[in-house]
Amino acid sequence: MKAIISGAGIAGLSAALFLRRKGWDIEVIEKAPGLRAAGYVVDFFGSGYDAAERAGLLPALAAKKVPVTRISYVNQDDTERSVLDYGQFAASLDGRLMGLARGDIERVLYDAVADHISIHYGTSISTIDNRDDGVSVRLENGETLSGDLLIGADGIHSRVRELVFGPEENFIRFLGYHTAAFVIDDAELNRELDGVFRILSVPDRQVGIYDAGEAGLTVFFAHKAASEARPADKAAALRKTYGDLGWHLPALLDAADRCDDIYYDTISQIEMDRWHDKRCVLIGDAAYAVSLLAGQGASLAMGGAYILGEQVGDGDVERGLAQFEAQMMEDVKAKQAAGRKTANWFVPPTGFHNMVRDLFLNVTRLPMFSFLMNRFFAPSTKSLIH
Ligand SMILES: Cc1cc2nc3c(=O)[nH]c(=O)nc-3n(C[C@H](O)[C@H](O)[C@H](O)COP(=O)(O)OP(=O)(O)OC[C@H]3O[C@@H](n4cnc5c(N)ncnc54)[C@H](O)[C@@H]3O)c2cc1C
């Protein structure tokens, strides 16, 4: 059996790994010229953690784990307003949580599978012939590939989804925010941060900085936005939105001007009633982006790839794709709904909302109220792998 996978992100490389272990041949098509380090530090837990454990990847991931102990919400003068105790968050997940730079997860997957598959970098699919008994694709570089299954793991703006299921606007739900992230090298700022993950929180805007060790200093931004159009000049858009703020913003915005790999996107979800058609299936953000607000896109990308591998691995593709959808669809929709509800928590719209979050975080750090933290996170952190 042979799978063609569009996208070598976390979903695509995970699918390659899990299907290769079932004996499939794999060809991956990735539009970027190579692996990319860009991205933020993700909370890796739930389905992704379980999938990584079954693939034997936990030691390699643990070696890249960033030592977050606390997330400190601060004012513009750097005074602390509240703290999320990362150890307590981990305890609410029975310790099955790692803070990992997105690019490091991709790197660990790549190292595990790259020698056993073929990856075509720097190209993309231009046409798809999707049949009941197989699939063929033509690449922009002129090559043609054929296989038993095409997996669209090409992210929220998926080309495969567009070609097989229709235009993006039929499936995307804009949640009213933009986000950006990049990695910088700034030894002086690193020293100042002293290992603490700091988040500046002002109404409708958040900026986080964290020293992710070898992965560099990761910076992320999230802010309310009226339009779903993505700006052509990302650094200029960040300066326009955050240029009036103090704290570390002047240095961070200068760093953005110098950075040539800024991740910038709308905060959106992808909602579909089915993820497969004949011999084509979507996974990860391409199928079910839950958004930054739900905070588990990377985990669900790897978890979904594992479930797909388990379901279609034996070669009964038609039955397996139906089972894959049945196993995941309902839980994914619940996670998306939960994510939408946390918008005011994630980027508080007013000073009052900010205060309420501060109060919640500070109170739940007290042992007698720690159960509230479990209750808050438990429904959305449940794994889909049983
Ligand atoms: C460089 C990078 C940085 C990111 N940083 C953040 C961040 O800071 N915050 C955040 O919330 N999310 C970020 N994300 C998204 C996050 O990684 C995903 O939400 C999550 O990991 C799910 O992964 P995925 O593999 O489904 O999708 P993605 O991580 O989006 O991976 C999709 C892959 O497909 C490739 N691709 C896209 N179009 C095509 C095409 N036409 N043909 C072939 N390949 C294609 C992409 O280059 C990418 O490698 C980032 C993604 C990338 C690629």
CB contact burial 297-323 (16+ within 10 A = b; e otherwise):
bbbbbbbbbbbbbbbbbeeebeebbeb
**What integer pLDDT is reported at residue 369 of this predicted model?**
61
Which has more pLDDT, 86 or 176? 176
Cβ atoms 327, 307 nearer than 8 A: yes
Contact call for residues 339 and 293 (beta carbons, < 8 A):
yes
**Alpha-carbon span 7 to 30, nearest angstrom:** 5
Q: How far is the CA of 283 from the centre of ligand 1 (A)?
A: 12
- How many angstroms does the Cα of residue 23 sit away from the middle of ligand 1? 26
Average pLDDT value for the chain: 92
Q: Tokens standing for 26?
A: 């794999």
**Ligand 1 neighbour 211 (Cβ under 6 A):** no
> 320-327: long-range contacts (C-beta < 8 A, 24 or more apart)?
321/275, 321/276, 321/281, 322/276, 324/275, 324/276, 324/281, 325/274, 325/275, 325/276, 327/384
pLDDT per residue as tens digits for the range 90-134: 888 888 999 898 989 999 999 999 999 999 999 999 999 999 999
Expressed in angstroms and rounded, the spacing between residue 275 Cα and the centre of ligand 1 is 18
Amino acid 376: pLDDT: 63
Nearest CA to ligand 1 atom 29: 9
Report which ligand 1 atom has the smallest distance to the Cα of 125.
42
Ligand 1 pocket check: which of 31, 210, 269, 335 to mutate, most ligand atoms within 8 Å of Cβ? 31
Position in ligand 1 atom list of the atom nearest CA 181: 8
Percent of the chain with pLDDT over 90: 74
Q: How far does the centroid of ligand 1 lie from the alpha carbon of residue 297, in Å?
A: 10
Q: With a 6 A CB cut-off, is 18 part of the ligand 1 pocket?
A: no
Closest CA to 204 of 367, 347, 3: 347
Looking from the CA of residue 180, the nearest atom of ligand 1 is: 8
Of 5-9, 139-143, 185-189, 290-294, the one with minimum mean pLDDT is 185-189
Return the amino acid letter for 126. S
Residue from 4, 5, 6, 10 whose mutation best tests the ligand 1 pocket (most atoms within 8 A of CB): 10
State which ligand 1 atom lies nearest to the alpha carbon of 105.
21
Q: What is the pLDDT of residue 344?
A: 84
- Is 155 close to ligand 1, i.e. is its CB under 6 Å away? yes
In this predicted model, what pLDDT tens digit does every residue of 314-354 receive, in sequence order?
999 999 999 999 999 999 999 999 889 888 888 999 999 99
CB of 179 closer than 6 A to ligand 1? yes
CA 36 to ligand 1: nearest atom: 1
Kindly state the percentage of the chain with pLDDT values over 70: 96
The per-residue pLDDT for range 17-30, each reduced to its tens digit, is 999 999 999 999 99
Task: Return the residue whose CA atom lies nearest to atom 42 of ligand 1.
Answer: 124
Ligand 1 pocket member 360 (CB < 6 A)? no
Segment 183-225, tens digit of pLDDT? 888 777 777 777 788 999 999 999 999 887 777 788 999 999 9
The pLDDT of residue 188 is 79
Give distance in angstroms: CA of 10 to centre of ligand 1: 8
**CA 67/CA 370 separation, integer angstroms:** 22
∠315-320-325 over CA atoms, to 5°?
A: 155
pLDDT given at position 203: 95
Which one of 138, 259, 285, 347 would you pick to mutate in the ligand 1 pocket, going by the greatest count of ligand atoms within 8 A of its CB?
285
Nearest to 315 by CA among 86, 11, 94, 25: 25
- The CA 78 to ligand 1 mean position distance, Å, reads 32
Distance 101 CA to ligand 1 centre (A): 13
Q: So what's the pLDDT on residue 386?
A: 78
Q: Is the CB of 102 under 6 A from ligand 1?
A: yes
Rounded to the nearest angstrom, the distance between the alpha carbon of 154 and the centre of ligand 1 is 7
